[in-house]
Amino acid sequence: MLGPYSAYPILKGWDYRLYTGSRTVKRGETVEIVRVSETGLLLAFVLTTTDAYGAVILEAQGAELRNETQEYAPEDFFVGGAVSPDPVGYLIRYFRPNPASTAGLYILEIAPGFWGLPLPFVPSVVVKLRLQGQSTQSQAEIFVQARAINVANKASYIQSIRRLLDPKADLTVDPEFMTVGPVQFKEAKK
């Protein structure tokens, strides 16, 4: 039986995307680095920072355009004990040489897609970096890299899924599938 990812090699209309951004961020400052205007599935991202309170903020919308905001910082994962591989995410590296300072090297990985639980998104996704106020530093370097599967051609993507599920399926794509946001589908009259 085909699982969600094992079907992708034979589906059409999708492509990989890699989003990256880095900044020197001052304590208390939030900086937007990427705005994504595509539809897809977030597979994973890696946050690398020189401060335990260097954070990435993801603002995403679901199919009904309800906003979801998630903020991830290495210190939160350390305090929670997330230091071994886990679908939610974990600290790959937590190097804090001076306990009185938040300076160091921190690498945080969030990889739900590789565990079979990708985070779907529709336009727009906003990625921001923040150095949280608990930092002992005035600024820190923050780098984020995200890997996603994006639906590049919606009609082709929908048609290939239908063809996979039923070789004799109707390949007409309802225009409502091509829009972003809430839609009320109506039953076709035969």
pLDDT one-digit tens code per residue, 163-190: 988 888 888 888 777 777 777 777 766 6
Could you tell me the domains of the chain?
A: 15-151 (2.60.120.1390)
Measured between alpha carbons, how far is 45 from 25 in angstroms, rounded to an integer? Answer: 19
Which pLDDT does position 2 carry in this prediction? 55
CA dist 45 and 61 (Å) reads: 17
Q: For 103-118, what is each residue's pLDDT tens digit?
A: 999 999 998 877 777 8
Backbone φ, ψ for residue 77 (5° rounding): -70, -35
Give the C-alpha distances (Å, rounded to integers) separating 41 from 51, 85, 126, 155.
Answer: 29, 21, 14, 17
Looking at residue 172, the DSSP 8-state letter turns out to be: P
Give the E-state strand segments of 62-138 in sequence order.
67-72, 90-95, 103-110, 119-131
- The predicted-structure confidence for 112-157, as pLDDT tens digits, reads as follows 877 777 888 888 899 999 999 999 999 999 999 999 999 999 999 9
Tens-place pLDDT, residues 32-61: 999 999 999 999 999 999 999 999 999 998
According to the model, what pLDDT value does residue 170 have?
Answer: 85
